[in-house]
Amino acid sequence: MTNNTPEPDFSALWQQQPVSEIDLADVTRRLKHQKWLQRWYVVSDLTGFLIGLGALLYSWQEISLFMAVVLSGVMVCGGAFTGYIIWLRRHALLASFSDTNQYRETLKKQYLSNQKIARVTLHSSWSGVVIMVLVWAVAGLMGEVTWQRFVDNGGIVTLLVVCMLMAGFGLWAYKREQKFKAEYEQLVSQEQNDLWP
């Protein structure tokens, strides 16, 4: 038994498929915006680290050995943290604009990195407060700072202000993580719609 129905012309069907237009201008604009933002962030990250290092070096003769060791440890951790954040920003920083696929892939990678940066920022906001309290507690136990001196020098007010700032900073970081997650998912969805209309 043979089937006498004619074979469909798949090449004709393929050519009749609707093609979704890629909004190259939007992808290009978003990637260029990310590139400039990431450059600004790197400059601000490095500036903040260098200001902290300069303040430590400037006051080196006036601080105790304990505080010198603690602050040196903070600077080493801060340097590693700054290096990691700059490494996460590399996709947009080193972006080249050669073709649409590369635009998209670079933007997707940077959105994933931005999510990581926001997540690390969120956790550093609360852990920074915990570390600060631990340093003050150890300084108190070692006799570096008395409770009265801590209160007189504004330690309570400083702690409250830092806690409020870090709570706001943590909330901001959480919202940024959600924003970059949504932008990444939108880009992936757009890409899938372009592949499978």
Predicted pLDDT at 78 = 92
Predicted pLDDT at 39 = 92
Domain boundary assignment for the chain? 24-195
CA distances from 190 to 42, 180, 182, 195 (A): 29, 15, 12, 9
First to last CA, the chain: 38
Among 33, 27, 36, 42, which residue's Cα sits nearest to residue 85?
Answer: 42
Among 88, 110, 130, which residue's Cα sits nearest to residue 187?
Answer: 110
Mean pLDDT, the chain, integer: 85
**Does residue 22 contact residue 103 with C-beta atoms inside 8 Å?**
no
CA angle 8, 193, 184 (to 5 degrees): 160
Neighbour count for residue 127 (Cβ, 10 Å): 11
Backbone angles phi, psi at 144, to 5 degrees: -70, -35
Q: How many helices (H) and strands (E) does the chain have?
A: 7, 0
Which pTM does this prediction carry? 0.75
Distance CA(182)–CA(177), nearest Å, equals: 9
Predicted pLDDT at 9 = 62
Neighbour count for residue 122 (Cβ, 10 Å): 19
Q: pLDDT below 70 — which residues of the chain?
A: 1-24, 97-98, 194-197
